[in-house]
Chain A
Amino acid sequence: MGLVVATKMIEIRNLKKYFPLKGGFFNSKQADVKAVEKVNFDIPEGEILGLVGESGSGKTTLGRSIIRLIEPSEGEILYNNENILNFKEKDMRSLRKDFQIIFQDPYASLDPRKKIFDIIAQGLKIHTGLNKQEISNKVKSIIKEVGLQEEHLNRYPHEFSGGQRQRIGIARALVLEPKFIIADEPVSALDVTIQAQILKLILDLKEKYSLTILFISHDLSVINQIADRVMVMYLGHIVEVASTKQLFSNPKHPYTKSLIATAPQIFRKNENKIVLKGDIPSPINPPSGCVFRTRCPHASPDGKEAKIEMGLIEVEPGHWVDRCGANCS
Chain B
Amino acid sequence: MKNDTLLSVKNLKTHFSVGNSVVKAVDGISFDLEPGKTFAIVGESGSGKSITALSIMGLLPNNLESVDRGKILFNNQDLLTLDEKEMRKIRGNSVSMIFQEPMTSLNPVYDLSFQISEAIMLHQNKNKQEARKIAIDMLDLVGIPEPQKRIDAFPHELSGGMRQRAMIAMALSCNPKILIADEPTTALDVTIQAQIIELMRDLQKKLGMAIIFITHDLGVVAEISDTVMVMYLGNTMEIANTNKIFSNPKHPYTKSLIEIAPQISEHKREIKVLKGEIPSPMNPPSGCVFRTRCPHASPDGKEAKIEMGLIEVEPGHWVDRCGVGCGN
Contacts and interface: CB of A to CB of B under 8 A. Distances in A.
Contacts of B271: 196, 199-200, 203, 225-226
A280 interface: yes
A25 B131 CA distance: 43
Nearest to B268: A225
B264 A263 contact: yes
Contacts of A199: 262, 271
Contacts of A219: 190, 262
B264 A161 contact: no
Interface in B136-186: 159, 161-162
B264 A260 contact: yes
Interface string B27-51: 0000000000000000011000000
Interface stretch (A80-88, A170-178, A264-272): A264-272
Contacts of A191: 44-45, 216, 278
Interface stretch (B3-11, B104-112, B253-261, B299-307): B253-261
B189 A218 contact: yes
A164 B276 CA distance: 10
Interface residues of A, number: 45
B206 interface: no
B326 to A, nearest CB: 18
B194 A221 contact: no
B218 interface: yes
Interface in B259-317: 260-265, 267-269, 271-275, 277-278
A104 interface: no
A326 to B, nearest CB: 21
Given A192-B260, A196-B272, A200-B273, A245 B267 contact: yes
A153 interface: no
Contacts of A218: 189-190
B54 interface: no
Interface stretch (B58-66, B122-130, B219-227): B219-227
Contacts of A94: none
Interface string A248-276: 10000000001110111111111001011
A89 B257 CA distance: 47
A53 to B, nearest CB: 9
B127 to A, nearest CB: 34
Residue of B194, B262, B273, B277 with most partner-chain A CB within 10 A: B262
Contacts of A101: none
Contacts of A280: 189, 191
Given A225-B262, A266-B222, A276 B267 contact: no
Interface in A183-210: 191-197, 199-200, 203
Nearest to B222: A266
B159 A220 contact: no
Contact of A55 (B189, B194, B256): B189
A275 B185 CA distance: 15
Residue of B45, B189, B195, B222 with most partner-chain A CB within 10 A: B189
B147 to A, nearest CB: 16
A17 to B, nearest CB: 21
B164 to A, nearest CB: 12
A266 B258 contact: yes
A65 interface: no
Contact of A265 (B162, B264, B268, B269): B264
A197 B273 contact: yes
A302 interface: no
Interface string B95-118: 000000000000000000000000
Given A196-B262, A224-B262, A276-B191, 7 more contacts: A191-B44, A193-B260, A194-B44, A219-B190, A259-B191, A262-B190, A266-B219
Give the 4 A-B CB pairs with smallest separation, nearest first: A264-B219, A221-B262, A262-B194, A54-B189
